[in-house]
Amino acid sequence: MIKKSTYMKLLLPVAVMIVFIGLLLTEMTGISMEERSASLNYLESEPPERTQENIAPTNVLVAVDKTNGVEAPFALTLTDTLCQLRMNCQIVDVSSEALPELDGFSIFLYCSQSLSPIESEMDVLFKWIDEGGHFALMMTPVDNDAFHILYRKLGIVEYSHEYYNYASLQYVSDLLPLWGDSVYHESHSLSDFALIVRLDDHCTVHMESGGDMAIPLLWERPVGKGRIAVLNTTLMVNKGGRGFAVSTLYALEDTLVYPIINAAMVFIDDFPAPQPEGFDEELREEFGYDIQGFFRNHWWPDMKQLCWDLGVRYTGLLIETYNDNVDGPFTSEQLDDSLLKYYTAELLHSGGELGLHGYNHQPLCPVGFDYAGIDYTPWPSTKAMAEGLLELARYGKTLFLGADYRTYVAPSNLLSDIGRETVLKTLPEIKAIAGLYLAEKGVDALVQEFDEGEDGAVNVPRVTSGFVIDDYMEFVTAQELVLHGVYSHFIHPDDILDSERAGNHTWSELYASFKARLYHIAETYPMIRFLSASEGAAAIQRYDRLVVKRDMSDEGMTLMLSNFYDEAWLAFRSRVEPRSITGGELYKIAEGFYWIRADDDVVRVAWEAAP
């Protein structure tokens, strides 16, 4: 009788041979494995036609002085924010138009520093507020006769006729979860002026300047049956300042409900991509490996651990080569692509998604495109662009058999209109195109909103980048989680190799910072969904199409959702604590601030338990 150990000795060489043959076939033909099934499916139906009028009733009046070119960006930030919140507004130009009848509005937002244009309407304004209207000053006011008439109503007991130049600010309430009461100084570049005021006891302060002065920067005050809020800053100047508009509305309103995306997305640009050979002396000293060994044995294992611990779903963005060829023919230059196959398999195995970045790192822009001094080579024709994309898609299938690419991210976030058109025409399976959310000064980068494009692709902008970010990016992260319910971030593997991007930090320090941020987000928003880019695009579709109508009563709130598919997410700010919900789930984030997952097209929130 042959012993079991003898069988094992006979079978071991056979098993080794089978494994070897399997690895050889993988090396020759690519990885044959299935991607993780999407947790949220892309909507193939056409988006419904929608006009601003059927999004929400027009109950918000915005007053601006259109002759004041300095103040124009503030008004644009405000109206853009209202659009994101699905709050329809009517704009009145106080430089040339009289105020409409205020009785038709419940909210009046004054987005100009001088109150002189409405000085003759003060009695009407006071009466409207006393009867229940909500009025907000959206900019630091100018000290003039009109302001002197109003200042007591604003809750100001006395004020200086001088303005204070402050260099930091701090929230003193729960209006900005994730940020909390940290001091914000805009990476030591904040410089703004506020009116020095002393407030009465009826005011609730939400934000004040940092330092010993502690000047109120955002406060609210009840007036009769109505309410007044004051934003004593001039920081609401661009997309990065939308959070200040949201905070002011939170201070002004009893209840706010609006759609959010609920997606945390992490993009890894240039991954997989050819890695540099040789040594980095600091990495060799710390880890003992060459560059490729560091990435294989430390960088990727650390990054992958976050997939298991938090459920992060990376979107890796493939680069085939770093040559400058834009004329063709486009052929593979990989002599040994085993590392790219390895990282592709690892990315998919950890639940991630493989997207496309470029045949090379030359943005799809024609001759004449303004690269703002960046050394890039323009493409001679759309034919060449298409051929490069087709080669990239072909090459990707040698790494992952049956690959179905759904996401495209432009190199350096530079993409011309004709380049975008070429991407979608050449690779119609692309559903998500990711650029930037915030504009970069002096760079003609692709700047997007979270929405569906008219060409059928979904815009999935990235808001922040890097392993270590400054307090401005931290602040915007907190704002975007309130406004859009989204975290959209990108990194590069070679950040560690770039002293400017790494900021002279070691890998251990970079990783610790990145990990701590993800944990902080997950702890503050425990219901947040870590999604790949294409899943995030599906979430954006549902967010962008959703129409919310609400019916308020003393007993509670009823939400009627149009263009509801399977589920929807909403942010909910309330001064009254909700007691129960039907048609969905309620998740508390901070005092008075919740997320709602709607499971039905009618959601009811009760202020008190039903008898």
Mean pLDDT, to the nearest integer, of 564-577? Answer: 96
Mean pLDDT, to the nearest integer, of 6-10? Answer: 43
Q: At 564, which helix (H) or strand (E)?
A: none
- Check: CB of residue 228 under 8 Å from CB of residue 370: no
State the CATH class of domain 57-253.
alpha beta
Could you give the 3-state DSSP secondary structure of residue 502? Answer: helix
Q: At 349, which helix (H) or strand (E)?
A: helix 338-349
pLDDT at 4: 42
Mean pLDDT, to the nearest integer, of 157-179? Answer: 95
| Alpha helices for 98-218 (secondary structure H) | 122-130, 145-150
Rounded CA separation 102/126 (Å)? 11
Q: Would you say the C-alpha torsion 90, 91, 97, 98 has a positive or negative sign?
A: positive
Position 11 pLDDT exceeds 50: no
Mean pLDDT, to the nearest integer, of 138-146? Answer: 96
pTM recorded for the entire structure: 0.93
- Check: CB of residue 159 under 8 Å from CB of residue 131: no
pLDDT band at 441 (very low <50, low <70, confident <90, very high): confident
- Check: CB of residue 587 under 8 Å from CB of residue 569: no
- Check: CB of residue 302 under 8 Å from CB of residue 511: yes
Cα-based distances in Å from 85 to 234, 484, 572:
21, 9, 11
Rounded CA separation 49/248 (Å)? 31
Average pLDDT in the chain: 92
Beta strand 580-582 with 602-606: parallel, antiparallel or unpaired? Answer: antiparallel
pLDDT at 24: 39
Mean pLDDT, to the nearest integer, of 576-593? Answer: 96
pLDDT band at 83 (very low <50, low <70, confident <90, very high): very high
Mean pLDDT, to the nearest integer, of 421-431? Answer: 97
365-406 confidence digits (pLDDT tens): 999 999 988 899 999 999 999 999 999 999 999 998 888 899
Q: At 539, which helix (H) or strand (E)?
A: helix 533-545
Kindly report the length of the chain. Answer: 611
pLDDT at 14: 43
523-544 confidence digits (pLDDT tens): 999 999 999 999 999 999 999 9
Mean pLDDT, to the nearest integer, of 188-201? Answer: 96
Mean pLDDT, to the nearest integer, of 492-499? Answer: 93
Position 21 pLDDT exceeds 80: no
Say what angle helices 72-84 and 242-252 make with each other, to 10 degrees. 70
Rounded CA separation 434/424 (Å)? 13
Token pair of 579 as six digits: 């007691």
Position 611 pLDDT exceeds 60: no
pLDDT at 363: 97
Mean pLDDT, to the nearest integer, of 497-509? Answer: 91
pLDDT band at 336 (very low <50, low <70, confident <90, very high): confident
Share of the chain above pLDDT 90, in %: 85
Record: fold of 266-459 = TIM Barrel (3.20.20)
Nearest Cα to 568, choosing from 457, 485, 468? 485
Q: What does DSSP assign to residue 581?
A: E
